[in-house]
Amino acid sequence: MSFSNRLVIAAIFSTVLVSAQNNNNSFTPRWWAKYQTLLTNGANAPAGITSSAPVVGTNVDVSNECGPQSETFITLNTLNAKSIAGGSNEIFRDPMRGYSSSDGGATWTGVDLPLPPAIGTNGTDFGSDPSLAFDTRGNVFYSYIVVFFGHGNGINGTELAVARSTDGGKTYPSANFFSFSGGSDHFNDKPMIAADTNLNSPFRDNIYLTWDAASGGSTSGGIRFARSTDHGASFSIVRIDNPKGPGRVIAAQPFVGPNGEVYAAWNDIAANTIAFNSSFDGGVTFGTPGVIASKSIAFDIGIPAISFRRALIYPSCDADRSSGPHQGRLYCSWTDLASNGVNTDIFTAFSDNKGSSWSAPQRVADSLSGSVDRFYQWLSVDAVTGEVTISFYDTRNDTTGQRFITDVYFSRSSDGTSWLSPNSRVTTASSNEHDCNGVFPCSAIDYGNQYGDYEGLVSFNGISHAIWTDSRDQLNFAPGCRTNLAMEEVFTATIR
């Protein structure tokens, strides 16, 4: 597709969204920035180069390819913990990117995820929003959305995708594409996937998916929940938020309890709460939605470290599936304003009665005297030890006071009430997604996407694996890159 044609598409579709985008960011799908990037730049970067060794210390460059990657996710096989799979958005290329390691995260390989045929003449499509889960048979399920667009038509529609790998994430031969949605104000956005890996569960190996089925404030939208009992071959879909509500919801995450209980939490933008629902029949039916906590930030916030894209507010939750004293306890985390009303901080709450009531929110990060932002937390409960672990971006190492510089930090708790302090720094080098390490403006950061909307963490048997968007090498030359810039990379680290 020519550059001029791409600009025509952007002009046509922008008339639908520009008013809403200017008035309320919650009306704009979060994949919109990638759509604009692809319209402007095209798919101009080659496929990835396999990483075989750590880059610096325990930090490993997983993607090791040209152009920017962002918005990361990671999971592992609970029956073979050295088998790890991850994913990220490709910003200059159409497909999703998958990553796999068979040696506990020391080395990684990469692969593109399948896309369906485009719609219409001169049509094309791209993927966005990675999420992955292993079942107990060693299958990896990778969920994402597909956005269709074409010459003169703007957005042709969106749909959900779930690809399955039988070799630990090395290959994804095909995907199940479903729940197509068209129209100028209806979009599929932010899917998350989970699997029931409880060996004694009556719903063992069920696959669950949640997503926001509409933007634009439509009452026909809301949080959708999909259930597969045939290893991802087919999905049945229900709505799990309030069907009479305004449809202003996003960032739902499903998670599973120790006996096959199914839970989901999401950001209710209209009510400004972290909302919650549960199912005790394997996702066939759900109860009345409840509230985990109220919050101050409704949808996103433009803190300096991610002022261009803005930091999305989402819950990250998990259940204690261990045989320890807190088996069955539910934990949820989210970002909100700190007590000073300026900075952002990470908060958690827990429930001991399957979500009927929740503890008062509490902070998980270190109390520091300076002005520090924390954002994009991810929470994982160790299914063996019962420990609660959490990772997040943190600006405490920016000594200029501008809060541009970020590192990934990690904390843990045995019960969700007391947290490791001082927090552990995961990154061995800082990132700057705001001003290109002092050279501003520059072409080495994709400002529309920056970190994306989340980073990832998975913990099992006392070992955690964090994954994040990293721009430490943004000005380095990358072999084979047309832009000669590595830009944002995907990094991981093992935390023992």
Structure confidence at residue 120 (pLDDT): 82
Say how far apart CA 199 and CA 321 lie, in whole Å.
11
Could you tell me if 170 and 184 are in contact, meaning their C-beta atoms sit under 8 angstroms apart?
no
Helix-then-strand count for the chain, H and E: 2, 31
Say how far apart CA 280 and CA 153 lie, in whole Å.
43
Spell out the per-residue pLDDT of the chain, length 496, in tens: 433 333 333 333 333 333 333 444 555 778 878 877 776 655 544 443 333 322 223 899 999 888 889 999 999 999 999 999 999 999 989 999 999 999 999 999 999 999 999 998 778 999 999 999 999 999 999 999 999 988 667 888 899 999 999 999 999 999 999 999 886 556 889 999 999 999 999 999 999 999 998 654 445 678 999 999 999 999 999 999 987 665 689 999 999 999 999 999 999 999 999 999 999 999 999 999 999 999 999 999 999 999 999 999 999 999 999 999 999 999 999 999 999 999 999 999 999 999 999 999 999 999 998 899 999 999 999 999 999 999 999 999 998 889 999 999 999 999 999 998 889 999 999 998 887 655 555 666 777 889 999 999 999 999 999 999 998 876 555 556 655 455 789 999 999 8
Could you tell me if 455 and 466 are in contact, meaning their C-beta atoms sit under 8 angstroms apart?
yes
Q: Of the candidates 390, 403, 495, 406, which has an alpha carbon nearest to the alpha carbon of residue 451?
A: 406
Give the start-to-end residue ranges of the domains of the chain.
3-495
Q: In what order do the strands lie in the sheet containing 330-337?
A: 316-319, 330-337, 344-351, 362-363
Could you tell me if 292 and 349 are in contact, meaning their C-beta atoms sit under 8 angstroms apart?
yes
- Cα distances from 215 to residues 32, 86, 152, in angstroms, run 11, 27, 22
Structure confidence at residue 65 (pLDDT): 84
Q: Of the candidates 124, 181, 173, 116, which has an alpha carbon nearest to the alpha carbon of residue 148?
A: 124
Structure confidence at residue 215 (pLDDT): 55
Phi, psi of 229 (to 5 degrees): -110, 5
Residue with tokens 């998916």: 209
The structural architecture, per CATH, of the domain 3-495 is 6 Propeller (2.120)
* Lookup: tokens for 341: 């009303």
Q: Of the candidates 343, 321, 345, which has an alpha carbon nearest to the alpha carbon of residue 333?
A: 345
Task: End-to-end CA distance of the chain: give it in Å, rounded.
Answer: 48
